[in-house]
Structure 1
Amino acid sequence: MAYQEIGTTIQSVQQSIDHILETTANLPEETIRFKPAEDEWSIMQILSHLAEAIPYWLGEVEIVIAMPGAEWGRGLQDPARLAAVTDTDKLAVEDVMKQVEELKYKVESGLGNLDEETLSKESPHRNFAKFGNKPVSYIVDHFIDEHVSGHYDQIKRNLSKIQ
């Protein structure tokens, strides 16, 4: 994957978070908690997932930078990942929105000082070693930038099923 200026990536993530917050800010709580189908997440679950997942992936970046060659990643059945989307009825919308807002600063803090050399360090995914090593930039681009953007699209799909 080609090197992308980290500032551009940070800006992209922050823009996606801003879009998410703007889109959800004035929604009624019942809309935020609405599940379009049994096998689809509510907007609340998406927000809670982002509040858990992005710090997780920032931590994985830190580990790979500190220990090049260390395995990174997790599976879909990861307990922390599942906990973030379970029992979201107990979570306050305002609190989760604030956590999502804070992601903008966590991303900037966690990625802002990475240079091209650091972003090119490679390590294997713990579940998909058969695909070979991936650079830190892959984690940043795929599991942070594209991840947030993809969930923004998911929120828009959810809303299209209501309106």
Structure 2
Amino acid sequence: MTQSNITSVNESIDRIIETVKGLPEETIRWNPTEDEWSIMQIMAHIVEALPYWVGEIEQLVETPGKEWGRNHLHEPRLEAVKPETVNAISVDEMIQKLEEVEQTVQAGIENLTPEQLATEATSVNPNFGTKPLSFIIDHLIDQHVNKHEGQIERNLSKLNNEQ
């Protein structure tokens, strides 16, 4: 199971990188609306979020049953996508960080046992409740990066509609 998650995450990240490499920088840094992230902010979010969730998994392996997670107001999450933060990073640096995230995810989940994946714990986010560790991998890493890949495609379609 985790191998298919690793493959899926890597494929999503690789497609994001390929998409971004073909874009002008102004497109990568363009916000569709005031309330929507630029492609650069989406990448910054992935670079912050996936290692965060891998860290939560590592803590749950060390301390089964420990409460896990965060909400949308988690300071490092917000800091990662702030315009000042994102504007201070080059597109090439962000692409390199995305490539590093692939290794972080693989190293963090590839050796988990079926017993560890089935271990349940309660999230601080009441929307999640009590879930097995595999939920974090499936929903907060794999599906999460896939959702943001789709968000990048939506940004590009909005840009094309403006032109």
- Sort the TM-score into its range (normalised by shorter chain): over 0.9
Paired residue for 1:97? 95
SS in 1 for 2:138: helix
Equivalent position to 2:143, from 141, 146, 155: 146
Q: Deviations over 1:78-124 (max 9, x none)?
A: 11000000021122111111000111111111111012111000100
Q: Which 5+ residue runs of structure 1 have no aligned equivalent?
A: none
Give the CA deviation at 1:140.
Answer: 0.6
Name the residue aligned to 1:84.
80
Show CA shifts across 1:20-52 (max 9, x none): 111111210000000000000000000111111
- Over 3 Å counting, the alpha-carbon distance change for 1:157 and 1:121 in structure 2 is same
Q: Which residue does 2:4 correspond to in 1?
A: 8
Q: 1:132 Cα deviation (Å)?
A: 3.8
Tell me, yes or no, if the aligned pair for 1:6 and 1:115 is still in contact at 8 Å.
no
- Which of 138, 157, 160 does residue 160 from structure 1 map onto? 157
Count of residue pairs the alignment pairs up: 158
Provide the alpha-carbon RMSD of the alignment: 1.1
Structure 2 CA distance for aligned equivalents of residues 92 and 84 of structure 1:
14
Regions of 4+ moved over 6 Å: none
Letter of the aligned partner of 1:136 in structure 2?
Answer: L
TM-score by length of 2: 0.94
Q: 1:35-46 counterparts in 2 under 5 A? A: 35-46=31-42
2:65 pairs with 1:62: no
Percent identity, aligned pairs only, is: 48
Which 5+ residue runs of structure 2 have no aligned equivalent?
Answer: none
Q: Distance in 1 between matches of 2:20 and 2:3?
A: 26
Q: Distance in 2 between matches of 1:8 and 1:48?
A: 24
Amino acid at match of 2:38: S
Q: 1: distance between equivalents of 2:13 and 2:19?
A: 10
**CA drift at 1:131:** 5.4
Q: Among residues 23, 26, 39, which one is paired with 2:22 in the alignment?
A: 26
